[in-house]
Structure 1
Amino acid sequence: MLLRTVKTCLEPKDLPISTASAPGSPTDKLHNAEKTWWAAPHAATGLDAIVSVPASKSLTNRYLILAALASSPSTIHNTLISRDTELMLDALAAFGIGIERTTQPDGSTTVAITPGKLATGPLSIDCGLAGTVMRFVPPLAAVAGASVAFDGDEAARVRPMAPVLDALETLGARIEYAGTTGMLPFTMDASALQERHEVLIDASGSSQFISALLLVGQALPGGLKLRAAAGHIASPDHIAMTVQTLRELGVEVAVGEDARSWSIAPGQLSGFTITVEPDLSNAGPFLAAALATNGTVRVPFWPASTTQVGGKWVQILSRMGAEISHDEDGVLTVRGTGVIRGIDYADASELAPTLAALCTLADSPSKLTGIGHLRGHETDRLAALETELAKVGATVTSTDDALEIIPGTLQAADLDSYEDHRMATAGALLGLAIEGVRVENIATTAKTMPDFPQLWTDMAATAKGQG
């Protein structure tokens, strides 16, 4: 039996309202527009759903960058089409890359990439709020020797970029900032790129700083010798994903014994044909829903092995009480057992918002460590989680690098998304278990999962005791 109690709000929660962000909150400096509220579907118990999640954003944008650098055309099947990948496709088109989309009978998208001589500009690139665009495209511009103006959403202007830009300056690029040094907006002139014996980079804020340079390593003058500066490396799983992606496409990457240095010889990448895996991180809220409702959720096409950080959901949910099976047809099944155990877990990375929401529904305290770099994501996720989980009854304490979560008596609340897709999906998970929850700007999930609201609603409708 699930032993958590729920206190519902008596005030109606189904009409849009306009509310300014609280002064000092993580969102107050990002937007003051009217808020749009989504009444999160509530399912008391017994989900029984099959959910097909879209392709991985992380892999899609890595393949797109590599296809742009290849010496011959590439074909990417099951390409994710979302705001982040549209921004990447637009950026590649600005550099003169040929792009042709085809919709397959199953509804998936195939993208054919025809590379060529990269345009040198002057160009203008909109990064939106996509970390992979704002961190991966400047090195592509450096390879092109281009002059490029970069900007993005207002929220993107507070996301750290200095380490990758400092590294490009080491290689000879000249960067002029229109605002805060090390952040958007800026203009880069890479017409005088040089070979360097070694590039040192601070990777404590984001693994994308390292991945960005690795992706273009063989196209840089003299190749790339890269070393992480002393200190913590954020989300090493994502760096491992980049290394494996390069290797599977024929790029030789030497990794130091201490996993803090990387070497890539100069060379030419051949065109390739690839099928993108489902986004296992985006599958997380759906799989966690099985525990939240003591139900069953199945995700098809779950890979037998993966470099995606979302592959950790199997281990995490099992430790928290789920029964999990993975059949020979690739269907991952997660079943709730009536128990949600608290967990101590390190390096959850982008899984942390959903995991923290599930910990709020658990029967004992949890501690998530090694996630300090999430303060520099779409929002300061640790501060946002501390604020939002408290609204539904949890006692949450954040430190520089961790969250401690003590479940309490659950209650309905209006949960802000902070223009962060993972905060929005975490709110949806809480709403599944707590009647009366509303999530602000659920449309922000279009960043990586445009159909999330409908997929979530369809899943909730399968519950025996749906709200």
Structure 2
Amino acid sequence: MTESPAKNSLWSAPVASGPVDATVTVPGSKSVTNRGLVLAALAAEPGWLRRPLRSRDTLLMAEALRAMGVGIEETLSSSSSLAGGPEATGEAWRIIPSGLHGPATVDVGNAGTVMRFLPPVATLADGPVRFDGDPRSYERPLHGVIDALRVLGARIDDDGRGALPMTVHGSGALDGGPVEIDASSSSQFVSALLLSAPRFNLGVEVRHTGPVLPSMPHIRMTVDMLRSAGAQVDTPESGGEPNVWRVSPSALLGRDLVVEPDLSNAQPFLAAALVTGGRVTIPDWPERTTQPGDALRDIFTAMGGSCELTEEGLTFTGGGTIHGIDIDLGEVGELTPGIAAVAALADSESVLRGVGHLRLHETDRLAALTKEINELGGDVTETADGLRIRPRPLHGGVFHTYDDHRLATAGAVIGLAVDGVQVENIATTGKTLPDFPELWAGMLGD
């Protein structure tokens, strides 16, 4: 398995000496990169991913697909193949599908997309595929995918845990058909089944039977990317039944896809503008996107800033004062750590709701945020489905990250305004945002 970064190192979060004024180029979207890899691996012809994110999660996905026989060639490229789109220069991955096969071993690390998106792919392999990962991956819910695949005809050995480690015994095909799941603990359960469904003999009909689904933008992203690859998808938004998604069996097209910047990874840099009363521009911010991070425009504006979207990108300007916010983040839960960090520096109370599912992410994010902000002098309490944050003067101290990249960037945001914050294991940001310390220092002009 891939080793975790060193856990004992401390990074002194730099304090901003004044308002920031910077342009920060954010790497590609992890969510788009990993969905694009899966769809390209299942396509009937070769395809390209241009400007992919190179991070721990995406490299784990690429290596897993290679282990099952998919060709992935990394190269430099220049292309303007997308009509009206930006010219894609820089790194590109050429994905060459082939007959999926086992035996193979997949290291998922602690990547939810790898541990959930690839078991359905493995059912299409000819031979066994073993899944293993970091210790935390054993605790993350996977039962929705495992149980659903069994209903659809797969054979999986997990010793009854509903979690990793496990082995998927691929037979080269899967029947597919209708299945009911409770995906309230992760929208990735739905996306996982939909992504491979065109290759199932009967396609799939996924019916969510539990409480309200979190992170719906990620399901919409999955649907949009499937349709762009030639799949027929019926959704609740397109006139179908509520909480039901249907994908018909079909071949998938090999695409030439330019990966958008990761808008959720732009969050700490936009937060820096808000915290310091400065200005940050993120180039290539898309005019239309299914990424949850696009909600930051409205959220951070409500907390005291302003933004302008132009052809160059998104420019966000802090107003000099941070306001508290009462907001349901159920659809954009991954933004919670960064919003909590800003809220701890606000002039009034904040209530973050609809994110109880964050207890099952890379770490229990609600418990971790509560403990770490409070140990810096804050006043955060957990609610049934979120956090209540009452701002208080903060002081320096160690901000633990629990191998969670979004905890690490939250600590960096607080450190802009609070002297003496030391973030433990800042290297964990490499999960989705390589070179974060260098990008942060560049933004601050250090």
| TM-score when normalising by structure 1 | 0.89
**1:358 to 2:342 alignment:** yes
Counterpart Cα distance in 2 of 1:279 and 1:229: 31
**Structure 1 193/270 Cα, relative in aligned 2: closer, same or farther at 3 Å?**
closer
Q: Which residue pairs with 2:76 in the alignment?
A: 103
Counterpart Cα distance in 2 of 1:34 and 1:266: 45
Matched residue SS, 2:124: helix
Q: Which residue pairs with 1:238 in the alignment?
A: 218
Counterpart Cα distance in 1 of 2:284 and 2:4: 38
Q: Which residue pairs with 1:300 in the alignment?
A: 283
* Aligned-residue RMSD, C-alpha: 1.8
Counterpart Cα distance in 2 of 1:219 and 1:254: 16
Residue 174 (structure 1) shift? 2.1
* Residue range with higher mean Cα deviation, 192-201 or 204-213: 192-201
Which residue, 199, 204, 227 being the options, matches 2:184? Answer: 204
**1:45 to 2:8 alignment:** no
Q: Which residue pairs with 1:154 in the alignment?
A: 135
Which residue, 399, 413, 418 being the options, matches 2:383? Answer: 399
**Structure 1 283/418 Cα, relative in aligned 2: closer, same or farther at 3 Å?**
same
Query: Counterpart amino acid of 1:35?
Result: N
Residues 411-430 of structure 1: pairs in structure 2 closer than 5 A: 411-430=395-414
Which residue, 59, 64, 83 being the options, matches 1:86? Answer: 59
Which residue, 295, 304, 311 being the options, matches 1:321? Answer: 304
8 Å contact from structure 2 (residues 140, 360) kept in 1: yes
How many residues were matched structurally? 430
Which residue, 248, 261, 264 being the options, matches 2:228? Answer: 248
Counterpart Cα distance in 2 of 1:270 and 1:309: 26
Residue 317 (structure 1) shift? 0.8
Q: Which residue pairs with 1:444 in the alignment?
A: 428
Query: Counterpart amino acid of 2:132?
Result: D
Query: Counterpart amino acid of 2:45?
Result: S
* Residue range with higher mean Cα deviation, 250-259 or 148-157: 250-259
Counterpart Cα distance in 2 of 1:58 and 1:259: 24
Residue 33 (structure 1) shift? 7.3
Residue 460 (structure 1) shift? 1.8
Q: Which residue pairs with 1:116 in the alignment?
A: 98
Counterpart Cα distance in 2 of 1:144 and 1:267: 17
Q: Provide structure 2 residue ranges, at least 5 long, that are not aligned to the other structure.
A: 79-87
Residue 146 (structure 1) shift? 3.5
Query: Counterpart amino acid of 1:184?
Result: L
Counterpart Cα distance in 1 of 2:246 and 2:409: 38
Query: Counterpart amino acid of 2:348?
Result: S
Matched residue SS, 2:312: coil
**1:126 to 2:107 alignment:** yes
| TM-score when normalising by structure 2 | 0.93
8 Å contact from structure 1 (residues 394, 406) kept in 2: yes
| CA shift digits 1:57-90 (9 cap, x unpaired) | 0000000000000000001110111111110110
Query: Counterpart amino acid of 1:358?
Result: V
**1:172 to 2:153 alignment:** yes
Residue 31 (structure 1) shift? 9.3
Counterpart Cα distance in 2 of 1:108 and 1:200: 42
Counterpart Cα distance in 1 of 2:223 and 2:26: 24
Matched residue SS, 1:245: helix
Which residue, 355, 363, 376 being the options, matches 1:371? Answer: 355
Q: Which residue pairs with 2:243 in the alignment?
A: 260
Counterpart Cα distance in 2 of 1:206 and 1:194: 23
Counterpart Cα distance in 2 of 1:288 and 1:201: 37
Counterpart Cα distance in 2 of 1:303 and 1:414: 36
Query: Counterpart amino acid of 2:377?
Result: G
Query: Counterpart amino acid of 2:394?
Result: L
Q: Which residue pairs with 2:441 in the alignment?
A: 457
Q: Provide structure 1 residue ranges, at least 5 long, that are not aligned to the other structure.
A: 1-29, 463-467
**Structure 1 331/243 Cα, relative in aligned 2: closer, same or farther at 3 Å?**
same
Matched residue SS, 1:282: coil
Which residue, 319, 323, 347 being the options, matches 1:341? Answer: 323
Matched residue SS, 1:269: coil
Counterpart Cα distance in 1 of 2:295 and 2:136: 29
> Structure with the greater relative contact order (CA < 8 A, sep ≥ 6): 1 or 2?
1
Counterpart Cα distance in 2 of 1:226 and 1:214: 8
Which residue, 209, 221, 227 being the options, matches 1:229? Answer: 209
Residue 32 (structure 1) shift? 12
Residue 247 (structure 1) shift? 1.4
**1:136 to 2:117 alignment:** yes
Counterpart Cα distance in 2 of 1:154 and 1:99: 28
Matched residue SS, 1:183: coil
Matched residue SS, 1:279: coil
8 Å contact from structure 1 (residues 172, 193) kept in 2: no
Matched residue SS, 1:280: coil
Counterpart Cα distance in 1 of 2:357 and 2:270: 25
Counterpart Cα distance in 2 of 1:447 and 1:49: 24
Query: Counterpart amino acid of 1:114?
Result: I
Q: Which residue pairs with 2:50 in the alignment?
A: 77
Residue 171 (structure 1) shift? 1.5
8 Å contact from structure 1 (residues 172, 192) kept in 2: no
| CA shift digits 1:247-288 (9 cap, x unpaired) | 122211101345400111111011110100000000011001
Matched residue SS, 1:172: coil
Which residue, 37, 40, 44 being the options, matches 1:67? Answer: 40
Q: Which residue pairs with 2:256 in the alignment?
A: 273
Residue 229 (structure 1) shift? 1.3
8 Å contact from structure 1 (residues 201, 229) kept in 2: yes
Residue 433 (structure 1) shift? 1.2
Residue 192 (structure 1) shift? 8.4
Residue 458 (structure 1) shift? 1.1
8 Å contact from structure 2 (residues 235, 244) kept in 1: yes
Query: Counterpart amino acid of 1:110?
Result: A
Query: Counterpart amino acid of 1:113?
Result: I
Counterpart Cα distance in 1 of 2:354 and 2:286: 26
1 or 2, which has the higher strand percentage?
A: 2
